Amino acid sequence: MDREAIVSEVGSAMDSEESNEAAILAAMQVLHRRLNCHWAGVYLLRNGELHLGPFVGPPTEHTRIAIGQGVCGTAVAEDANQIVRDVRERSNYLACNLETRSEIVVLVRDEAGSVIGQIDLDGTEVGQFDERHEALLEEIAPLLALRWP
């Protein structure tokens, strides 16, 4: 995985978009393609709840997720990124899609360090995401934060 190339591709894809929504979507398109994701999107933390933001992939019924619920809500509740090797091993997993086997959630923070949402990627392979992906997404998160919708 060429981390630098992906970060720079995400940056230029976002720069060429006017609206914040379009910029985030462009970033998700790059991640979806470069990391071979099944689904790539963001959730926005609003009024103490996660709201589905721009995404690429099949539609999900999980448009609102409570803090503490599922992998996404757990990331916020525990203030910790989540790497799930096999979603079948997580009892609180919220299935968006039956083909999903692995998932990574990396928190997005504002300049003061407060959580404003998260990046969520789903893969069809067990163990598709690891610490290298986490490091990549941690580098991309501040770019997204600047254009957070």
| Residue ranges in contact with ligand SME by CB under 6 A | 39, 60, 62, 65, 70-72, 93-94, 96, 103, 120, 122
Rounded to an integer, what distance in angstroms lies between the CA atom of residue 127 and that of residue 149? 30
Give least dist CB 19 to ligand SME, A.
Answer: 22
The closest residue (CB) to ligand SME is: 70
Q: Residue 54 or 70: which CB sits closer to ligand SME?
A: 70
DSSP 8-state assignment for residue 17? -
Q: Residue 39 or 129: which CB sits closer to ligand SME?
A: 39
Q: Which residue has the tokens 């254009």?
A: 147
Relative to beta strand 39-46, strand 49-56 is antiparallel
For residue 51, with 0-12 CB atoms within 10 Å meaning exposed, 13-18 middle and 19 or more buried, which class applies? middle
Q: Residue 3 or 33: which CB sits closer to ligand SME?
A: 33
Give least dist CB 136 to ligand SME, A.
Answer: 19
Rounded to an integer, what distance in angstroms lies between the CA atom of residue 13 and that of residue 26? 6
Give least dist CB 103 to ligand SME, A.
Answer: 6
Give least dist CB 15 to ligand SME, A.
Answer: 26
Q: Residue 12 or 63: which CB sits closer to ligand SME?
A: 63
- Short-list 77, 118, 123, 133, CA closest to 96: 123
